[in-house]
Structure 1
Amino acid sequence: MITHDIFSIQDEQDFKEAALATFAYQFENNVVYRSYCDLLYKHPGDIQVVEDIPFLPIQFFKSHRVISTQASSFTNFTSSGTTGTSSTHFVTDINLYEKSYLSAFRHFYDSVSDYAVLALLPSYLEREGSSLIYMVDDLIAKSNHPKSGFYLHDLDSLANTLNELEKQGQQTLLVGVSFALLDLIEEKSFNLSHTTIMETGGMKGRRKELTRAELHEQLKQGFGVKSIHSEYGMTELLSQAYSKGNGIFKCPPWMRVVARETDDPLSIKQDNTTGGLNVVDLANYHSCSFIATQDLCKIHTKNTFEVLGRFDNADVRGCNLMVL
């Protein structure tokens, strides 16, 4: 199954075939990943199920150029670096990223042209290289609504727009970083029935960290909505999972999740358990599709999960296997 076919995946057999083919391709073409697999004595001929594919510790995106291509032109997405050295994702096919997020949005929310898309993402907008800003900017453009746009610090204008769209019965999406959404409801009050509030997580050092349940309760009260949606994504991934409430994320058909021991990317657990979050993102075709993140999770099924927190100060075992 070639790259564009990942968006036609219908069932687990389709996903398995695509994942095994992607692993074989990246094993042959990604120097960093190949070296990691060699040190683990894990080769395509040894792999029969997706869970046996080696997951690359996400820290390698901070120290190495993780690419599966000979291309010399990249769109570089970088992390904020709030926990130390920033990660860089070298994206050789920006069209693949665009197709991934547009297909995922359509999968969970229908066409973006049905929405007015408002964004409150100050910490992301104030730096360069954010993959989230790239995605939201494109969603704003494709919404084709005159009120769609970014609201950096103009909370008055944002509040007026939300209330105006509410009166019109316009289906609206407000995407915001957690601390900025809390800032907004501290200054303004709302009673919204046509607006989806989607938090992207993170206090970015601006506020005291809250549990997701605490955050969502405050946001529900402040915006007058019944549920808070969430987006799970990161610099190192080209796909996003979405939650429509209660912090339960669902993956699009070309993305899967499994849990592991927190310090070991090779120790896969079963469903309905907690551990470190490993992600298979087949849209990462030209980098690495098999990532051991530093998020703690509870896995419900292969495509539904909760994020319980992070363990930023503990390296995933395996990072010290290579010095390239």
Structure 2
Amino acid sequence: MTKTSTEIQNDIYQFIQTYATTDDQQLSESDFNRVALDLFDYQFKSNLPYKRYAQSQRKSPLIVNNWQSIPLMPIQGYKQLTLSTTPVQKDEPVFMSSGTTDPNHRSHNYHPSFKVWDASMKYPFKQFVLPDRDKMTILGLFPGEKTNSNSSLSRYVTKAIDFFGDDKSGIFIDENGMDYQGIVGALKDAERQGRPVMLLGASFSYVHLLDYLNEQKLTFKLPVDSRLFDTGGFKGQSRSVDAQDLFDAIKNTFNIDRDHYINMYGMTEISSQCYDQNLVRLYHHLPLDYTKAAPAWVRVRILSTDTLQPVESGHAGLIAYYDLANWNSCVAILTEDMGIQDENGFEVSGRVQGAEAKGCSIAVDQLLHANQM
């Protein structure tokens, strides 16, 4: 019997609680497979566009017997279709992708409840970003939820401070721009008091902050254990930035070493994030590894851009993302990001380009054809 929305959310929440402190996917594999199949069954019955696409791939809960066989929703589906297992309410929270001013060409991910989303965010953040402490000063360099309620990253930054920020924490950017003077004051206070801080923002937040600090000829010797968190990439609308140049600038400006720089992989269309492993490994006295790890309720596979079949370890391909926390839309997503994976983790190598996009294009064509009315 297909489970209800409440039952599905409770099962996923319980899974997250059970495996919150481990990224050992072998330990959770049996339970992951069970919950993923239940979730696919629920979404197949309750999410009509996903059902139509699955049927076009000759996939159904009667045929699919392992999570690897669950049909992957092309990420473009979130722009073209309403992917929700529950009826969309007038004032229902929805995350929308950035990059265009036309709301009709932005991804939409609906969230009738944040219980699972918040749990999925909270535990890996503690594991990978704060492995050495429960609270610290967090300086947010991305607008918060009150400023942009349609941004998943805005909610992320707000919840990070709610869950893990001390009373010196805050968000230093809003609709009027970045509060450079406030950031400088907070950094000087931390430097003077010997209090470690975390800078937390989108990748290009740091480009603009570093430009300002360079113009003002300001540098800081932040205390040991300070860290910098970013998400996204450095190919922006204004200019591209070389990653090594950025690492050098961060070291010279903030006194934060590369091993305390963490990048998070996330997007509007998913509900869980993956993290660089360097900080958690550093504090557990393990060899450093800068590849990304997924929480126990996420699986990542790398697929051929031509055939959408798995590639060998160490070979580049499209990132396929299986996320139990994405209970209201699609558990399995075909991204447009390229990656490389080995036994330790995976790296994101960029966006799919040109001829490499063949597999994505075919999948999107099949999706739209299946949902023609």
Q: Deviations over 1:231-282 (max 9, x none)?
A: 1111111111111447521111111100112355x42224322111111111
Q: Deviations over 1:275-301 (max 9, x none)?
A: 111111110011111011111111124
Q: What is the CA distance between 1:41 and its match in structure 2?
A: 0.3
CA distance in 2, matches of 1:312, 1:68: 32
Q: Note if contact 2:320-2:332 (Cα within 8 Å) is conserved in structure 1.
A: yes
Residue 155 of structure 2 corresponds to residue 134 of structure 1: yes
Aligned to 1:24: 41
Q: What is the CA distance between 1:123 and its match in structure 2?
A: 11
Query: Mapping of 1:84-163 within 5 angstroms?
Result: 85-108=105-128, 109-110=130-131, 113-121=134-142, 127-143=148-164, 145-152=166-173, 153-163=178-188
Task: Sort the Cα spacing of 1:6 and 1:214 in 2 relative to 1 into closer, same or farther, 3 A.
Answer: farther
Query: Mapping of 1:182-261 within 5 angstroms?
Result: 182-186=207-211, 187=213, 188-192=218-222, 193-203=224-234, 205-227=236-258, 228-245=261-278, 247-261=290-304
Moved more, 274-283 or 70-79: 70-79
CA distance in 1, matches of 2:191, 2:277: 20
Residue 342 of structure 2 corresponds to residue 317 of structure 1: no
Residue 345 of structure 2 corresponds to residue 304 of structure 1: yes
Q: Note if contact 2:143-2:154 (Cα within 8 Å) is conserved in structure 1.
A: no
Task: Sort the Cα spacing of 1:288 and 1:224 in 2 relative to 1 into closer, same or farther, 3 A.
Answer: same
- State how many pairs are aligned: 322
- The residue type paired with residue 162 of structure 1 is L
CA distance in 2, matches of 1:211, 1:13: 42
Q: Note if contact 1:255-1:279 (Cα within 8 Å) is conserved in structure 2.
A: yes
Larger radius of gyration: 2
Aligned to 1:181: 206
CA distance in 2, matches of 1:210, 1:128: 29
Q: What is the CA distance between 1:164 and its match in structure 2?
A: 1.7
CA distance in 2, matches of 1:189, 1:269: 45
Q: Deviations over 1:7-47 (max 9, x none)?
A: 02442222222222222222222111111110010122322
Q: What is the CA distance between 1:83 and its match in structure 2?
A: 10
CA distance in 1, matches of 2:147, 2:165: 24
CA distance in 2, matches of 1:183, 1:222: 13
Aligned to 2:286: none
Task: Sort the Cα spacing of 1:145 and 1:18 in 2 relative to 1 into closer, same or farther, 3 A.
Answer: same
CA distance in 1, matches of 2:247, 2:145: 21
TM-score (norm 2): 0.77
Match of residue 274, structure 1, among 299, 307, 316:
316
Tell me the C-alpha RMSD between the 2 structures.
Answer: 2.8
Task: Sort the Cα spacing of 1:236 and 1:68 in 2 relative to 1 into closer, same or farther, 3 A.
Answer: same
